[in-house]
Amino acid sequence: KQEVTQIPAALSVPEGENLVLNCSFTDSAIYNLQWFRQDPGKGLTSLLLIQSSQREQTSGRLNASLDKSSGRSTLYIAASQPGDSATYLCAVGSNTGKLIFGQGTTLQVKP
Amino acid sequence: NAGVTQTPKFRVLKTGQSMTLLCAQDMNHEYMYWYRQDPGMGLRLIHYSVGEGTTAKGEVPDGYNVSRLKKQNFLLGLESAAPSQTSVYFCASSDVAGVTEQFFGPGTRLTVL
């Protein structure tokens, strides 16, 4: 059974720092991996989608990498801003589109 | 485009009551999903649909039923609500399963007393 783990559960950094969020999964037979952002009381916003054949994806200050063989993905946030404060979720996807989510990392960026 | 919308946004039920949550998407997506989010448990898939007229069970389907009579709508029903079904429910849709990203609705906060 696929299990997704995100460490750390919470992270607090000063504004301007570069940071890395980690996601690990137990079964390397995945179709894709998706990173989401969730603000308190809100829905999920898709940040990046990495196909199983890809190594990384970039969008603005965000860069996500995928290493299927080791069962790991990282989300790199450059030059963090207070507006980046949110919970970040990773999810691994199957060929039917079903997603298995991690518990999330709650990020606080202090001004 | 409105994307994925959900109604209602909030609801309080008494144990044993029934209700239906509506999800609508205007992106012509084939695939639709219902998740629940609980503290400490993360998001878990309840049911999903791979196209109009189809439904399939997810990870936690017990106590729920779904229907997809129209491509743009996916309904989640609770026939006899229980306190354990207190949760935040999210609907999502995607174009091509396993290839394109999933888009999520804003959620429905349900409390069962």
pLDDT digits (tens, 9 = 90+) for A78-111: 999 999 999 999 999 988 788 999 999 999 999 9
Give chain A's count of helices (H) and strands (E): 0, 11
Q: Which position has the higher pLDDT, B40 or A62?
A: A62
Q: What is the model's pLDDT at position B98?
A: 67
Q: What is the mean pLDDT of residues A69-84?
A: 97
Nearest to A43 among B40, B48, B107 (CB): B107
pLDDT digits (tens, 9 = 90+) for B28-45: 999 999 999 998 888 999
- Contact (Cβ atoms closer than 8 angstroms) between residue B25 and residue B7: no
Instruction: Tell me whether A36 touches chain B (CB under 8 Å).
Output: yes
pLDDT digits (tens, 9 = 90+) for B47-71: 999 999 999 999 999 999 999 999 9
Q: What is the mean pLDDT of residues B1-20?
A: 94
* pLDDT tier for residue B96 given thresholds of 50, 70 and 90: confident
Q: Which two tokens stand for residue B31?
A: 């695939």
* pLDDT tier for residue B112 given thresholds of 50, 70 and 90: very high
Q: Residue B98: its chain A contacts at CB < 8 A? A: 31-32, 93-97
Q: Residue A39: its chain B contacts at CB < 8 A? A: none
Residue of B27, B37, B101, B108 for testing the chain A interface, max A β-carbons within 10 Å:
B101
* B45–A99 CB contact, under 8 Å: yes
Q: State the Cα–Cα distance between residues A97 and B97, nearest whole angstrom.
A: 4
Q: State the Cα–Cα distance between residues B106 and A4, nearest whole angstrom.
A: 23
Nearest to B106 among A36, A42, A89 (CB): A42
pLDDT digits (tens, 9 = 90+) for B70-83: 999 999 999 999 99
Q: State the Cα–Cα distance between residues B28 and B83, nearest whole angstrom.
A: 35
Q: What is the mean pLDDT of residues A62-76?
A: 96
Which residues, other chains included, contact B26 with Cβ-Cβ below 8 Å and sequence gap of 6+? B1, B2, B3, B72
* A46–B102 CB contact, under 8 Å: yes
